[in-house]
C-alpha cells in the first residue's frame, strides 16, 4: 500500500495538498515503453509541442504563481518571476539545442561525408528541489524533451502540488502522458528511481549530501549520465567602493532574497577591514527595513518564511553554534512566529572563529569575515569545498580581472548579486557544487549525446599497399 503524502503552507500551516506515493517500477516501465515514439518525432514537432506548453502556462500564469507562493512561502512577486522563467525556458532551450547539439556535415575522402548528429539518452529522471519547484526542474525537463527523451519527474516531497500542476501542463500541451510521468514520494522513492537500471540519466538539483550519495552510487557505472547541481557556500567580496549604499543593497539582495533559499545566495560577506564597520552598519540598516510576512501580504514582503519548521530549527541551531564558537552577532536570528517558520534575516561576524563550518546555510543567515588585503580576500573566498557563485563589489577592472582569474566558482560576477543567474548562460559550479555538467543554457549537452558517422551512398574501397602481386601465369590469353 502506497504511503500518503501531504503538503502544508509554510506561512499558515494549512493543508494544501494530499496524495499517494508512486509505484516507481510501474512509472519507469511506462516511460521506457513510450519514449522511442517521442524520439522518432521530428524536432519541429517537439518544438511546437513545447511552445504549446508555454501557452498553457501563460493561460494559468496566476494560478501557478499562487500555488508556488503558497507551497514554498515565497512572496507572490517572487513566485511570478519564477513562472516567467518557466515560460522563457522553451525559447532558450530551442536556441541552445540548435547551437549545442545541432547537426554538422563535412566532406570526407572518396566522395563520402562526415556527419555529427545527436541522440537522446532514453529515460531521464529529474529530481527537483523545493526552492524553485517549477523553474529548476523545468530547466531539465524542457531540454530533455526537446532532445527526444522520456522524463520521470520526482518533485521534492515538500512541494508535490507544484510538481503535479507542472506535469499536468505538459500533458495539456500535447506531450504524451506516458512520456512525462510524475513520481511522488520521499527519499525511498528517490532512491528507487535513481537506482533503477532502466533509467539512463539522473538530473539532480538539491543538497550536496544527496548529490554526493547519487554520485557514489554510480561510480562503477559510467553509462549513466549524471548532472548534479548541489548548492554553495557563496562569497560576496566588498572592496574599494565609494558607493557603500549600493554595495549594502547588493549584499542584502544576495544574502536574503527568497529568504536565503537560493543555491546562489551569499553566505559569506568578505570585506576589507577599513570598510567593514561602515558597510556592516549600512547592511544592517537595510536588513532591519525588510518586510517579512506571508506570501500574499500587503504591503508586499521582501521575504516569506523558510520552507518548514525543521529548516527554521536547523538555522536557529546554526546561528547559536556560530555565536557560541566565537561569532559576534550583529543582527540576531529571531523567530517571528511561535509555530511558523518566519525568521528575521541574521548577520554574524565570524572573523575571529578559529574554525568556520564549511556548510550550506540554506536560509537568511549571513556571516561576515574581515580581511586585511585582497590576496587574503581571495584566499578566504576560496576557503570552501563548494564553488558555485561569487561576486566582487567595488574595485577596479584590474582588480576584477585578478578576482575572476583566481576565484573558484562557476558563476563570477562584478558589482552584481551572487544570485539571479541568467538562463541564457551556463549554470553550475566547482567542487561539491557540481560535477562539471552545468545546466541552464548548457543543459542541451547532457540531454543528448553526439554520434559521429562516416557516410557514402555506395560502398567504395581499395587497398593500395601491403597486398601480394596477383599471379597471372595460369590465366589464358
Residues belonging to the active site: 229, 263
Dihedral, 177, 221, 127, 145 alpha carbons, nearest 10: -40
Handedness of CA 451, 454, 458, 461 (dihedral sign): negative
Is residue 404 within 8 A of residue 383, CB to CB? The reply is: no
H helix or E strand, kind and range, residue 213: helix 208-217
What cell does 248 get?
A: 549594502
CB atoms within 10 A of CB 368: 21
What SS3 class is residue 117?
strand
**DSSP code of residue 266:** E
What cell does 402 get?
A: 585578478
Distance CA 245, CA 347 (A): 17
Angle 283-287-291 (CA atoms, 0-180°, nearest 5)?
A: 160
Distance CA 183, CA 178 (A): 12
What's the order of all strands across the beta sheet hosting 225-229?
Answer: 180-182, 150-154, 123-127, 201-205, 225-229
| For residue 455, cis peptide bond before it (omega within 30 degrees of 0) | no
If you count DSSP H runs as helices and E runs as strands, how many of each does the chain have, helices first? 14, 21
What cell does 154 get?
A: 520526482
Amino acid at each position: 500500500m502506497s504511503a500518503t503524502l501531504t503538503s502544508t503552507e509554510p506561512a499558515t500551516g494549512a493543508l494544501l495538498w494530499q496524495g499517494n506515493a508512486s509505484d516507481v517500477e510501474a512509472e519507469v516501465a511506462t516511460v521506457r515503453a513510450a519514449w522511442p515514439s517521442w524520439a522518432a518525432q521530428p524536432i519541429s514537432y517537439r518544438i511546437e509541442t513545447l511552445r504549446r506548453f508555454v501557452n498553457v502556462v501563460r493561460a494559468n500564469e496566476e494560478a501557478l504563481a499562487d500555488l508556488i507562493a503558497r507551497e514554498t512561502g515565497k512572496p507572490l512577486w517572487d513566485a511570478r518571476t519564477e513562472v516567467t522563467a518557466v515560460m522563457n525556458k522553451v525559447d532558450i532551450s530551442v536556441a541552445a539545442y540548435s547551437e549545442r547539439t545541432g547537426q554538422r556535415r563535412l566532406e570526407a575522402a572518396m566522395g563520402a561525408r562526415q556527419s555529427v548528429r545527436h541522440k537522446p539518452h532514453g529515460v531521464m529522471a529529474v529530481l527537483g528541489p523545493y526552492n524553485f519547484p517549477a523553474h529548476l526542474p523545468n530547466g531539465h525537463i524542457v531540454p530533455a524533451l526537446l532532445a527526444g527523451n522520456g522524463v520521470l519527474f520526482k518533485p521534492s516531497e515538500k512541494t508535490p502540488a507544484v510538481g503535479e500542476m507542472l506535469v499536468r501542463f505538459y500533458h495539456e500541451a500535447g506531450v504524451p502522458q506516458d512520456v512525462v510521468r510524475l513520481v511522488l514520494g520521499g527519499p525511498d522513492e528517490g532512491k528507487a528511481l535513481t537506482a533503477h537500471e532502466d533509467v539512463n540519466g539522473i538530473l539532480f538539483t538539491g543538497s550536496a549530501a544527496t548529490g554526493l550519495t547519487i554520485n557514489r552510487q554510480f561510480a562503477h557505472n559510467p553509462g549513466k549520465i549524471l548532472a548534479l547541481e548541489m548548492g554553495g557556500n557563496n562569497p560576496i567580496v566588498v572592496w574599494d567602493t565609494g558607493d557603500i549604499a549600493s554595495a549594502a543593497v547588493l549584499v542584502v539582495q544576495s544574502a536574503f532574497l527568497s529568504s536565503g533559499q537560493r543555491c546562489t545566495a551569499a553566505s559569506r560577506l568578505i570585506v576589507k577591514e577599513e570598510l567593514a564597520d561602515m558597510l556592516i552598519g549600512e547592511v544592517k540598516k537595510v536588513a532591519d527595513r525588510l518586510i517579512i510576512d506571508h506570501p500574499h501580504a500587503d504591503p508586499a514582503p521582501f521575504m516569506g518564511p523558510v520552507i518548514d519548521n525543521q529548516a527554521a530549527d536547523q538555522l536557529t541551531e546554526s546561528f547559536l553554534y556560530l555565536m557560541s564558537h566565537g561569532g559576534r552577532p550583529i543582527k540576531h536570528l529571531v523567530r517571528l512566529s511561535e509555530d511558523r517558520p518566519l525568521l528575521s534575516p541574521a548577520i554574524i561576524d565570524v572573523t575571529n572563529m578559529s574554525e568556520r563550518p564549511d556548510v550550506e546555510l540554506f536560509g537568511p543567515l549571513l556571516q561576515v569575515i574581515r580581511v586585511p588585503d585582497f590576496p587574503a580576500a581571495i584566499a578566504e573566498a576560496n576557503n570552501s569545498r563548494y564553488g558555485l557563485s561569487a561576486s566582487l563589489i567595488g574595485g577596479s577592472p584590474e582588480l576584477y580581472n585578478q578576482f575572476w582569474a583566481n576565484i573558484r566558482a562557476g558563476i563570477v560576477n562584478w558589482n552584481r548579486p551572487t544570485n539571479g543567474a541568467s538562463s541564457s548562460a551556463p549554470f553550475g559550479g566547482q567542487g561539491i557544487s557540481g560535477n562539471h555538467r552545468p545546466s541552464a543554457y548548457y543543459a542541451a549537452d547532457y540531454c543528448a549525446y553526439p554520434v559521429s558517422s562516416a557516410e557514402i551512398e555506395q560502398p567504395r574501397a581499395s587497398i593500395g599497399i601491403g597486398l601480394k602481386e596477383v599471379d597471372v601465369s595460369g590465366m589464358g590469353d
